[in-house]
């Protein structure tokens, strides 16, 4: 998984050509904030995978974590709980281990969402 600074540099190169300066700064700031959160998620998932002797290049667990993150940002309360159950079932059917998924969910619950 890419490091935070690598992601930001790549994004800056991408937007430099296409967008006017005032808009670029806002876009860059938004992307930096989000890239930092995604890097934190990737690092936490990577640690969990190492602890459970699962190869860290097995990207489905990262996808699961990012989906949980998206659900937490999109929904609250009962709707969030229902969406998480659906998400769990979907990824279990794809072959992920329940124990590892629960560890990832615990880590995601500790992750601050920011604004």
pTM above 0.85, yes or no: no
Q: Which domains does the chain have, with CATH numbers?
A: 4-110 (1.20.58)
What pLDDT was estimated at residue 26? 83
CA distance 98 to 64: 12
Determine whether 104 is exposed, middle or buried from the number of CB atoms within 10 Å of its CB (0-12, 13-18, 19+): buried
Tens-digit pLDDT string for the chain (115 aa): 567 778 777 777 777 767 667 777 788 888 888 888 888 999 999 999 999 999 877 899 999 999 999 999 999 999 999 999 999 999 999 999 999 999 999 999 888 765 4
């Amino acid at each position: 998984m890419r490091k935070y600074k690598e992601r930001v540099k790549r994004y800056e190169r991408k937007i430099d050509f296409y967008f006017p300066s005032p808009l670029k700064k806002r876009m860059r700031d938004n992307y930096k904030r989000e890239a930092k959160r995604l890097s934190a998620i990737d690092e936490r998932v990577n640690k969990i995978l190492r602890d459970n002797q699962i190869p860290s290049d097995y990207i489905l667990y990262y996808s699961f974590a990012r989906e949980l993150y998206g659900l937490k940002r999109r929904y609250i309360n009962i709707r969030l709980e229902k969406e998480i159950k659906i998400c769990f079932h979907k990824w279990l059917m794809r072959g992920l281990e329940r124990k590892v998924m629960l560890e990832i969910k615990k880590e995601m619950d500790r992750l601050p969402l920011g604004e």
